[in-house]
Amino acid sequence: MPNFRNLKEIQINENVSIVEALEKINETAIHTGSKGFIVLIDSNEKCSGVLTDGDFRRMILEKIDLQQPVKFHANKDFKSVGPNYSSHEILRFFDSGLRSVPVIDKEGKLVDLLVYDKFLASARGKENIFRAKSPVRVSFAGGGTDMSFFFQQNKGYVLSTTINKYCYASLKMRSDDKIFINNGDLGINLEYENYSEFQKDSNNDLIKSCVKIMEPDYGFELFTHSEIEPGTGLGGSSAMSSAVIGAFNKADSNRYLDKYHIADLAYQAERIDLGIEGGWQDQYATVFGGFNLIEFRNNEIIVVPLRINPDVLHELQYNLLLFRVGATRNSGDIITDQKYNFEKSSDQKEYYMSLATLALKMKDELLRGELTKFGRSLHEGWLLKKKLSNNISGNHIDEIYSESLRLGALGGKVLGAGGGGHMLLYCRPKYQSEVINHLISQGGKRVDFDFIDHGLENWETFVESDE
């Protein structure tokens, strides 16, 4: 696979005029380290010459007719390397003053371009992999007020953080147009001859929706996997969306998407393209990361990072218990029911307004280090949240939660839309043993976690070709 990702953009037919080639070379400069470089291709798709900025300056100074075919004035005695040249051999070319060196195969065809600004000697003979990981989130308060049907007319607020459980995406470009997608969690392998065939596949899913959003113009191999189950209230689907988009964003040197843009694209892929009902908090929480108050306005979303005393954060984590409880659930069905209730009942708006106010109150409690109040506010929020839909909780969840309170927990909630998945409890250390034993006796599984201060991360690495 070529390391130079814009190979097609620097090639031009040898029969075009000098003036056409001059227009082309100005476009190539962004790909070749600010210095224009063009490779001429003949009718057999073989490399017949090269042109640099200096060649065009020479032609202009010599007053050559710019309508002539460019092939008569190209450099045909150019320096090139083969696909198997060593790093040291290539470095010798750069040492002689060259800044762009074509890689030509045995048939005389251009297969890569080595640009000094992007050349790493240690990476020669390996393939580029673009990776991304995005963390899941824990939402403390305000869930529901991030729904479009609410914050179009009212401000919504969500208080949340990210934890050290991730969704991952790894992307490798191919030299051909084929597409391979491997979902490591579901054991699904998909293969397409080209992007056109990929687009025609009507069996859409989250990963394919994210790929279509990014519109790659190259063949690729994409591998994804997650450290958490989907549908368990931690925003895993949004973390996966962000990871896939983040990997493609890292691979595209010509396009930079900021965090707000990535979050919006993740929302588009999941909520609009796939039609999965839900709010906006998950996408913004996973992309930005850390403790944030996310404000939802009718025309924009603002992420406000919180500067919380480290001692408060340590104590908060020491008092929190996270358990996997109940079955996975379809959050979209719960959100659909919430929306229906919001539209038919005038009382519902007051519940949402109270949730937004509570999020602001809990933000202040965190900043002031008032953790006992914070724990009790979690309970207040859970009681409010259950009023939004009868599907948010159930008898088994209610019984587990009530007994946890009786045993000493101050408050808690089922994370996400509700219905099952993960339960968060605020419980002072001296009561934790009994509460933990109770949860385990009811089939709960404790999940160890740490707060993290980052969101989506992506990077480029080099691996052996057989990965």
Interstrand relation of 11-13 and 37-41 (parallel, antiparallel or unpaired): parallel
- Considering only CA atoms, which of 452, 377, 381 is closest in space to residue 410? 377
> Among this protein's residues, is 273 annotated catalytic?
no
Name the active-site residue from 65, 201, 282, 347.
282
Contact 446, 321 (CB under 8 A): yes
Q: Can you name the residues that pair with 162 across neighbouring β-strands? A: 137, 452
Q: Which residue has the tokens 């843009």?
A: 261
The span from the CA of 240 to the CA of 48, in Å, is 45
- Considering only CA atoms, which of 327, 321, 326, 325 is closest in space to residue 448? 321
| CA neighbours closer than 13 Å in the CB half-sphere of residue 216 | 32
Look up residue 164 and give its two tokens. Answer: 């050290």
Tell me the one-letter amino acid at 48: S
So which residues are the catalytic ones? 282
